[in-house]
Structure 1
Amino acid sequence: MSTADESLVRAIAALDVQEQQPVDGRSRFRGESLDFPTGRLYGGQLLGQAIMAGGRTVPGGRLPHSMHAYYLRTGLLKQDIQAEVETIRDGHSFSSRRVDLRQGERTILDALLSYQQVGQEGIHYGDPMPTGLPDPEDLPGSREQMEPYADQSPFADYYAHQSPFDLRHVGGTVLLDDAENSDSGDDGRSRQAVWSRTQGKADLDPLMRRALLAMECDQIMMEPALRRAGLSMTTPGISFASIDHAMWWYQDLDPCDWHCFIQESPVAAHGRSLCIAKVYTRQGDLAAFMVQEAMIRVPRD
């Protein structure tokens, strides 16, 4: 039975792109836009919409196994998204699609996606999930944690009232307060673990599950870089944006159930920070791996 929170219902509706009339031989879909406290379109929404649009054009039984996406322009709020899907190849077990997301004549995201037939045999292994992590039920929920600051920060208000995901950080969060030190030489400070699940439950097909995971991860992908640099999303004068994003799926994961992001940021230079994440099921299976580069800048003074 579905017990989805209103925020989750809105997220699913935005990802559930609707087919339109084809253009120049390309399949075409329309998606809604969601508000986000940065004042521009949320990158995770775009990732999820690209996954859904491409997935609606592949043969049955094929699910996304990899995505490589580039953010090209700022997406505008209050405007719908047009997704144009080019069929590159349908092989025996793999399908390749290129998806352009547009607003009017502006291309805002370009993605190359690969979809694989479910159930292929082969070698199988995975790094184990770190031991000793607290249970998510023993950690404060993001709504509970952010509510006291909702009238002080648009980000706090978003996580308290609008985010479709319940994020539970192991240790402190960098959503509001700067880290205690700003010595970017300490690579251990960039590592973090975050339990997460959706706000409420919904009956989701496998394609929507993978799209929701892509939507979800972008909310925390650059946090290890902020943590290592001693910054937060509310550092005065800070500007940040995702540049590109890649991810791979290895097992089905239901975002409505608890899962854990194990994250770190190994390098930053030229105003760019690289962040990686492994995503584990609660049972400890490594289900997905992702890499993102973000632009993070702070005024010198």
Structure 2
Amino acid sequence: MKTVDDLLNVLILEELNEHQFNGVSKSIGSPNVFGGQVLSQALNAAYRTIRNKRILHSMHAYFLEAGDLELPITFDVGIIRDGGSFSTRRVTAKQGETTIFILAASFHRVEEGHSHQVSMPTDLKQPEELLSWTDVVNQYGAFLPEAMKTFLSIERPIDFKPVQLPNPMDRKDLPPKEDVWFRLKGDASKLDLATKQQVLTYISDYNILSAAMNPHASRAHFGNTQMASLDHSMWYYRDFDFNDWMLFSMDSPSTYGARGFARGNIFTRDGKLIASVAQEGLMRPKSV
């Protein structure tokens, strides 16, 4: 996938009937289905059953089994409730007879109300001052571990520019945080809010567990640690556009018992808070 159009071809599902949809997968460099893809496809399925113009405001999901990249995924949507202000949907994703994922999503009619938000970090380098994943490979590829080089070299519909760029040859523990600028490739100016939320959810599963890995970076890395998303929650606040760089600012309150927890806020470049994310992931040291 090279642009947002390629991404939408994956996220927008084939309708089998009014409550059941079918999806395909694209690899992002791991042997299993990318969690952000399943999250976004499930939201696409849920949104397709909303008839009253309500907008997604929160979702909570569990990853149950590793998805097979070669098999289609069937999404079944349960109509749980259509109340006066909120609609609730349950989505179950299956490959064959195996349930690999479940999601609950809540949609809210547009209302006026009070407004406040936390501020975006202000002491960060701007994206023009930073290297993208592609830049890192082009400039330092000869010095990168092969697995990292392969992952960073894959073509994606998103550019990522991490604010902190650790030296893989000088392993040391880092603060439990991660700040990454990102921008879509291609024209996203005509996307409606529902589609933008689905794309943003896809992006939200990138990078977040790095915040939980950083405090252990002197001895733990993706090559010697089994990593997998266990659950994912997200809250959506305001409309936005993808015309400029956006910031995903993450931190990790705790890792313990082979699990890491991380949370983050997503801001537009001008400081508008548009979403918050929380995820717990498996961080199991591999036997050497």
TM over 0.5: yes
- Tell me if structure 1 keeps the 8 A contact 2:3–2:186: no
Say yes or no: does 1:270 pair with 2:263: no
User: Are the counterparts in 2 of residues 149 and 157 from structure 1 also a CA contact under 8 Å?
Assistant: no
Letter in structure 2 aligned against 1:28: Q
Distance 2:218 2:277 in 1: 22
Q: Is the 8 A contact 1:226 1:232 kept in 2?
A: no
State how far apart, in whole Å, the 2-side matches of 1:153 and 1:165 are: 22
Deviation at 1:276, TM superposition (A): 0.4
Counterpart among 107, 132, 146 of residue 123 in structure 2:
132
Preserved contact between residue 63 and residue 117 of structure 1 (Cα < 8 Å): yes
Distance 1:157 1:201, change over 3 A: farther
Q: 1:92 to 1:240 in 2, by over 3 A?
A: same
Give the deviation of 1:138 after TM superposition. Answer: 1.8
Aligned to 1:161: 154
1:248 paired residue among 225, 232, 235: 235
Aligned partners of 2:148, 2:88: CA distance in 1, in Å? 36
Equivalent of residue 291 in structure 1, options 270, 278, 283: 278
What SS does the aligned partner of 2:39 have? Answer: helix
Query: What displacement does 1:19 show?
Result: 1.1
Pick from 10, 15, 22 the counterpart of residue 14 of structure 1: 10
Could you tell me which runs of 5 or more consecutive residues in structure 1 were left unpaired when the two chains were aligned. none
In structure 2, C-alpha distance between the alignment counterparts of 1:167 and 1:43, rounded to whole Å: 18
Is residue 135 of structure 2 the alignment partner of residue 144 of structure 1? yes
User: What does 1:1-301 correspond to in 2, within 5 Å?
Assistant: 6-21=2-17, 27-118=19-110, 120-147=111-138, 148-149=140-141, 153-173=146-166, 177=168, 180-182=171-173, 189-202=175-188, 203-230=190-217, 235-299=222-286, 301=288
Offset of 1:234 from its aligned partner?
A: 5.4
Instruction: Provide the rounded CA distance (Å) in 1 between the counterparts of 2:170 and 2:205.
Output: 20
Query: What is the deviation of 1:7?
Result: 4.1
Distance 1:234 1:281, change over 3 A: same
Identity of aligned residues (%): 31
Does the 8 Å contact 1:179/1:232 carry over to 2? Answer: no
Residue-pair matches, total: 285
Q: Distance in 1 between matches of 2:287 and 2:229?
A: 21
Taking only aligned residues, the RMSD between alpha carbons, in angstroms, comes to 2.2
* TM-score normalised by length of structure 1: 0.87
> SS at the partner of 2:116?
coil
CA spacing shift, 1:246–1:110, aligned 2, 3 Å: same
**Structure 1 counterpart SS, 2:15:** strand
How far has the Cα of 1:178 moved from its partner? 7.0
- Cα offset, 1:298, TM superposition: 1.6
Partner-residue secondary structure (3-state), 2:232: strand
CA contact (8 A) 2:213 2:221 kept: no
Structure 1 residue 112: Cα displacement: 0.3
Is contact 1:15-1:52 (8 Å) kept?
A: yes
**Which whole-Å CA distance do the structure 2 matches of 1:293 and 1:207 have between them?**
25
Alpha carbons 1:43, 1:242 under 8 Å: kept: yes
- Once the 2 structures are TM-superposed, how far is the Cα of residue 135 of structure 1 from its aligned partner? 1.7
Superposed displacement of residue 232, structure 1: 9.0
Letter of the 1:270 counterpart: G
Deviation at 1:221, TM superposition (A): 1.1
The residue identity in structure 2 corresponding to 1:172 is L
Instruction: Tell me the SS of whatever aligns to 2:224.
Output: coil
1:31 Cα offset (Å): 1.3
